[in-house]
Structure 1
């Protein structure tokens, strides 16, 4: 049911004119996205639904510095563990809805 609600919210936001967020900007600049603005826009929409602004800015840094993601994942800090849980959910949802 949670995934259906996310899909419904994502569908409601598709096509809405919005400024590019930090995840979308980082995605578009990355080698992996190779200029796929539609994919990067979808990933940003999922980020908007699952990550707050601070978490989005941190996640965007992973495009430039993948090692930073590894540092956060292995960290013992509670704040990093909470972020990583949200980030994994974001990644799963982005993969599911944007592929």
Structure 2
């Protein structure tokens, strides 16, 4: 009786896995193929207008997608200013203002995440 119950449970578990169709056909994401996120917004716009050789819609869109996950709207607007005025970033980083210090911690985490996520975008 116990063996029959286990076999029935195993059959139900295997049946729930489905079959026949390709996983992509059922809406699953393949984890063997890396995907890059893409978004538009203040960071992406500033990145594209910043005049750097490596800037592309793909890279800047990826950085914006990370910013959307990591930074508030006001943080994004402040970070976007750094593309046109890198010295402003230095001023914020060295500021004794507690709000600037808190922002800089968030910005550093965002920068590290963007570098990991968007390298090669």
TM (normalized to structure 1)?
Answer: 0.79
SS in 1 for 2:113: helix
Larger radius of gyration: 2
TM (normalized to structure 2)?
Answer: 0.66
Equivalence map 1:33-72=2 (5 Å): 33-72=53-92
User: How far apart, in 1, do the equivalents of 2:55 and 2:81 lie?
Assistant: 18
Runs of 5+ consecutive residues of structure 2 not aligned to the other structure: 1-33
What's the counterpart of residue 37 of structure 2? Answer: 14
Q: How many equivalent residue pairs?
A: 86
Judge conservation of contact 1:23–1:44 (CA < 8 Å) in 2. Answer: yes
What's the counterpart of residue 116 of structure 2? Answer: 96
RMSD of Structure 2 on Structure 1 (CA): 2.0
Residue 24 to residue 33, structure 1, CA distance change in 2 (3 Å): farther
RCO higher in 1 or 2 (8 Å CA, sep ≥ 6)? 1
What's the counterpart of residue 45 of structure 2? Answer: 25
- For residue 32 of structure 1, report the CA deviation from its aligned partner: 1.6
Judge conservation of contact 1:55–1:83 (CA < 8 Å) in 2. Answer: yes
Runs of 5+ consecutive residues of structure 1 not aligned to the other structure: 1-10
- Post-superposition CA distance 1:36-90 (Å, at most 9, x none): 1000000000000000000000000000000000000000010000000000000
Structure 1 position 75 matched with structure 2 position 98: no
User: How far apart, in 2, do the equivalents of 1:70 and 1:58 lie?
Assistant: 12
